[in-house]
Structures are given as C-alpha cells and as structure tokens.
Amino acid sequence: MIDPYYLEWANLLLRWIHVITAIAWVGSSFYFVFLDSNLVKPNSPDLLEKGVDGALWAVHGGGFYNPQKYMVAPKKIHTKLHWFFWESYTTWLSGFALFTLLYLFNASAYLIDKSLMDWTPTQAVLVALSFLLVFWVIYDRVSQWVGFRENGELGVGLIMFVVIAFASWLACHWFAGRAAFLLVGAMMATSMSANVFFWIIPGQRKVVGAMTTGQKLPAAELAMHGKRGKQRSVHNTYFTLPVLFAMLSNHYSFLYAYAHPWVTLVAMMLAGALIRQFFVQRHAYHQNKASNPLPFALIGVVVIVGVIIALKPESTPITQKFADTSPVGYLQVQKIFEQRCYACHGAAVQMKNLRFDSPQEVKINAQNIYQQSVVLRQMPMNNSTQITDQERELIKRWFDAGAPTTP
C-alpha cells in the first residue's frame, strides 16, 4: 500500500499538470473560435491568389500579428507547421491518471454509495469506465449520422442534450454524489479529446500529407476533412464550460446534497453552454455576421440564479434543531471520532496525513474538523460511517467551546 503522504503529493502534482494543460487546451480552443468569427475575407489580389479566405490584424506584446486562414490548404508551407494536439492529449492523460488515483483506486470510498447501489469496487470501476466509452460511441455516431444533414447541428445538440441528461440521471442514481458529477464531466472531456485524436488531427494529417507528397485527393474528400474538423472543434468549445463546471463541482458538496442532484448538474451545464454560445456569437455579431447574442447570456444567468434559489438550505441553523446547547467536552467528541473517523484518520490509516486518535492532532486540526464535518458536511466521505446530525451538532458545540482536548 502506498504511503498516504506520497499519494497526496501524487494528487497535487497530477492536478497541477492537469490544470496547466487544460488552460493551454481551452485557451487555444477559445482563440481559434475567436479567429473563425473575426477573420475577414481579404480584398487584396495577392492574398486571394494565395487562397486566403480570411485574415485579421491584431496587436499584442509590443508587436502586430496577421493570422490568415486558407480554405482546405495553402499551396506551400514556408515555415514549420505547428500542430495543436498535445494540449488535448496531455489534459486527458493527466485527468484520467488523477481520476484513476483518486476514484478508481479508492472506489469503495469515492465511487460507491451503498444507499444507492451496493456493488463491488470492480463493478463500480467497470461501470464508471463504460460511461466514457459508451458516451463517445453515441456522440460520434450521432455527429456522423445527423451532423451534416439540413439543420443537422441543431439535431446533434438536441439529441446530445437528452443523452447527457440521461447519463447525469444514471450517474447520480448509481454513484456517490461528487463522483457522479465528475464522471459526467469526464465522459464529455473524453469525447473532446477523442475528437482531436480520431478526427481532427488525422484529417489534417491527410491534407498536409497530400500537400507535401503531391498526392491528389478528391476535392470532396478534402472538403469533408475540413468540415468534420470544424464540426468537432465547435462541439468541443460548447462542451468546455459544462465540463469545467462538472470538474469543479466536487469541491462543493451542497451541489449534490440536493434531493435531485442530476437536475442541478444538467441545469448548470446547460447554463454554461448558453453562456459559451453568447461569447461565440458575440464575436460574429461585431462583424455583422450574426444576431445579437445577449439573450443566450441572459437565459444562462437566469438558469444559474434559479439553481441558486432552488438549492438554498433551510434558514434554521443546526443549533436550533436541538434543545441542548450546553458546551461539549473532548470525551464526548472522542467517541464520535472513534466511531466515525478513525477508519480513515487513525493509527492504521492517515488519509490526508491526518489522524484524530491523538488529542494533540485533534487540537491542531480542530478548525478543519469543524469546517469539513459541520459547515461543509463533506466528511465522512459520502457519509460512509453514517454520522448523524446530532453528532455533527456535538462537534459544533465542542468547537464553539474552544475545542478542548483535555478530559
């Protein structure tokens, strides 16, 4: 068994890498969507002769930039060709490694909520992995079969909204709350990276290969590579904000403590997609290429406000639910720690490098204990040891009394 201290370092470093590469991937994705909406067809004969379909002037960092877009391919590439794919692959690989380390290797604690599904860790892991694969297969087939028909992208959007809503419902009925939200985000993120791996980059390689070898590809095939690459890139940009919300949600237990957490997840992801549509269309709007996108942003904000109101807890503080408000001593909370906390924070195991079987350690971590078990109610994880509201109240009164650690 790996020392929990080193597991925490692995968690930190993987999460750091994942965030860095995700920023790089999302940033490049947003930038190219911005370019596509702001490039203007040139009037200059020399640019038109070269096959430039759109160009833009920009200033940044003390210099001027002039990106140009060629439809299908330029006649010749004079300098090194940069490929944007390692940002995607590294983000997925680091994310999957983090998911494996935290959730798959600790399925009993993080994936399984026995009040929902009483299955073995192996069963939980296999079903979780199937979410990633099955969603990609469904999404990929829908995009191929429906996407290039008349109003096909609208059809893809509606079908995938239903699929994501159903997957969210299943995940929240089969897995522990924080794992369910993260799993839905992971399945969408997997499809984003799969778009790059299976379609966008291979299509571009075929086009570049034809350019550099002189091989003649049918015009229809070249056009399809471009259309499919653009299609999947656009899908990825709409997935981005929903995925980011799902990934961040595991830090906020109130999101999945609601009676119908899948509704919260779907609503917030929908709001993210609507707000992303606002920014995408806003670029085109300023070029007089699209209608005013403000309604998308307003609807997204209204959805978020609605979720905030719906999730607002009872205004009655926990202390008013119980008649006794007298101070609580260490011996009383020690019994709670022994029954509810020692399994993960005792002599045998010290998750997060913490142990609560020592008065000195309890004193040092009193603030953290109070915050995690009373304020946020995140611990015990998935309430696996069945701590009660009365016991949380005793911990609160002990903390309010100054967190004494003497009998």
DSSP string, 39-51: -B----HHHHHHT
| Model confidence pLDDT, tens digit, residues 245-256 | 999 998 887 888
Give the pLDDT band of residue 49 (cuts 50, 70, 90).
confident
Main-chain dihedrals φ then ψ at residue 19, nearest 5 degrees = -65, -40
Average pLDDT of the residues in 159-171: 97
Q: Does 313 or 33 have the greater pLDDT score?
A: 33
pLDDT tens digit string along 349-371? 777 777 788 888 888 888 888 88
Across the chain, mean pLDDT equals 87
DSSP assignments along 240-255, one per residue: HHHHHHHHHGGG-GGG
Residues 6+ apart with CB under 8 A from 57: 64, 65, 66
Least confident of 39-43, 95-99, 203-207, 376-380: 376-380
* pLDDT at site 387: 86
Nearest to 175 by CA among 247, 103, 239: 103
Find out whether 221 and 285 touch, Cβ atoms under 8 Å.
no
Q: Which of 9-13, 24-28, 105-109, 209-213 has the lowest mean pLDDT?
A: 209-213
Higher pLDDT, 33 or 283: 33
Residue 210's Cβ-count burial label (10 Å; 0-12, 13-18, 19+) is middle
Residues 148-186 as b/e (b if ≥16 CB within 10 A, e otherwise) read: eeeeeeeebbebbeebbbebbbbbbebbbbbbbbbbbbb
- Per-residue pLDDT, 184: 97
Tell me the per-residue pLDDT of 177-236, one tens digit each, with 9 for 90 and over: 889 999 999 999 999 999 999 999 999 898 888 877 777 778 788 888 889 999 999 999
Work out whether strand 63-65 and strand 58-60 pair parallel, antiparallel, or are unpaired: antiparallel
Please give the distance of CA 104 from its chain centroid, rounded to a whole number: 17
pLDDT at 264: 95
Q: What is the DSSP string of 83-103?
A: ---HHHHHHHHHHHHHHIIII
Listed in sequence order, the residues at least 6 apart from 200 whose beta carbon sits closer than 8 Å to its beta carbon are: 85, 228, 229, 232, 233
Asked if residues 232 and 200 have their Cβ atoms less than 8 Å apart, the reply is yes
Distance CA 291, CA 77 (A): 36
